[in-house]
Each structure stands twice: as structure tokens, then as C-alpha cells.
Amino acid sequence: MKNILTIDNLHASVHDKEIIKGLNLTINSGEVHVIMGPNGAGKSTLSSCILSNKQYVKTAGRITFCGEDITHATTDVIARKGVFLSHQLPEEIEGISVFNFLKTAKSKIDGKNVYSTDFRKELMPIMSSLDMSESVLDRDLNVSFSGGEKKKCEILQLMALRPTLAILDEADSGLDTDAVKAVSKGIEMFRGEDNALLIITHSMKLLQHIPATHVHVFIDGKIVKSGDSRLAEQIDMRGYEGYKGENG
């Protein structure tokens, strides 16, 4: 077992307003961590902070990835080291096709040339497992994709880039039943003993297919309770009311 991510007493702000308020989290290889918390608690902000999104200022604390301090590393460096973020609201980027985006990302991360014909062949089984048409590769990234198509495109990136840590911010939102199954299958194909997942979600949909090893309740900028998959079931049934007082 190897340490993948350690977050130690992280504080982060946006426009001088503190959003992350002393967060601690340790993720080891082979683990699937789930974060659940009310709207506006700061879950997406946390994922942006791990990737050093410049909108957020880390005012205290430390983040290490595979033993290296990445607290103040830039996003491209962190991504190249093997951290991947599937966005809650994927950006539409005109003028860059899905294929060129994936190919460029792959070659930057692997540090070597990627050959188009080989890479296309590599992507075919992944796309078919996600029930995506090959023609998606030639469309501009996320432009006019449906909500579900955008989410699938994020999972296509995950499967093609094979990071060490995958952070999935609401990868299940807006997916129909078949798409949830396809996306879960993709995540399961990625999951292994050498990598780890951090899944942010409001629902049990993905968790019915992917076994969570750790579940955390995230309220007002920090984790107030951690447990196993039974904790997710409790939250699904009872909500967060009982936890709101626990954030001292």
C-alpha cells in the first residue's frame, strides 16, 4: 500500500472568503474515497484546490501527492504527475477536437509521442464500453454535448489518461440508468491496486456499482465524519441534519 494523497489542515479562500476550513484527508493506493455533503459546502472548491485552480488561495496547510509537496505546484505539473479531475460542469472548448485534446494530454502526461492511428485504435474499445459513437472524437470538446455526453467524455479522458489519482466531481449527475452503468463500468475498469479514486457525489447511483472503502461527510469546509459504505447509506436515508452541529 502506497500513500497517494495527503491533505493536512488545508484552508482556502476565494475573494477573501474562507471556503475550506482545516481539511484533513489521507488516501492510499487501492482505496475509493467518497465525499458527500450539502450544496455549497466546498466540495468542488476542494477538488479545484487539489489541482491548484488559481481562483482559490490556499492560506494554510499542505497537500502531498505520492510523497511530493504539490501545495503550490501549478495545474499542469500536478496533472502530469498523475492527478485527474472530472469536472462537475465540464467546459465547452471550441476549436479543439476531443481526439486532439486527448492525444495532446496523453503525450504530455506520458512524455512521448502518441501516434494518431494507434491511439484511435486504443480508444475504440473504451468508447464502445461507454456506449459512445466514434464520431464524438472529431467534435469540438464538449461543444453542444448533452449533459450526459459531457460526463461520459470526462470518463473517456479518465480511461485514456490512466492517472494515479482520479477525482470525480459529480460524475453521476444527469446520467440516465444505462449511462450510470456504462460510466460505472468505465470507472471499475480504471480502478486498481496502484491507483485511487476520490468520488464526490450526492447519490448512491455510482456507489451501487463501485465499492467505496471510505466515506466522508463534508460540511462547511471540512470533513466532520468518516466511515465505511454504511455511512453513505445513512446519509442517503437521513440527510445531513444530524451532522451539521459537528463542525466545531
Residues in the chain: 248
Q: Which is nearer to ligand ATP, 160 or 232 (CB)?
A: 232
User: Nearer to ligand ATP by C-beta: 60 or 105?
Assistant: 60
Taking the least distance from each CB to Mg ion, the nearer of 88 and 229 is 88
Shortest reach from residue 214's CB to ligand ATP, in Å: 18
Interacting span for Mg ion (CB under 5 A) from 7-15, 16-24, 38-46, 216-224: 38-46
The option from Mg ion, ligand ATP, none interacting with 55 (CB < 5 to 8 A, set by class) reads ligand ATP
- List contacts with ligand ATP (CB under 6 A): 14-15, 19, 37, 39-45, 55, 88
CB of 114 to ligand ATP, least distance (A): 33
Residue 19 binds which of ligand ATP, Mg ion, none (CB < 5-8 A, kind-dependent): ligand ATP
Between 37 and 186, CB nearer to ligand ATP: 37
Q: Which is nearer to ligand ATP, 39 or 113 (CB)?
A: 39
- Nearest approach, Cβ of residue 208 and ligand ATP (Å): 20
Distance CA 227, CA 229 (A): 7
Q: Which does 229 bind (CB under 5 to 8 A by kind): ligand ATP, Mg ion, none?
A: none
The residue nearest Mg ion at its CB is 44
Footprint (CB under 5 A) of Mg ion, residues 76-115: 88
CB neighbour list of residue 11: distance below 8 Å, 6 or more residues apart: 18, 20, 21, 22, 23, 58, 59, 60, 61
Q: Pick the closer one to ligand ATP by CB: 14 or 143.
A: 14
Least distance between Mg ion and beta carbon 155 (Å)? 17
The minimum distance between CB 202 and ligand ATP, in angstroms, equals 6
Which of 137, 113, 115 is closest to 126 using CA atoms? 137
Q: Which is nearer to Mg ion, 43 or 214 (CB)?
A: 43
Q: Say which residues have a Cβ less than 8 Å from residue 205's Cβ, sequence separation at least 6.
A: 172, 175, 180
One of 7, 20, 44, 153 touching Mg ion (CB under 5 A): 44
Q: Which residues bind Mg ion (CB under 5 A)?
A: 43-44, 88
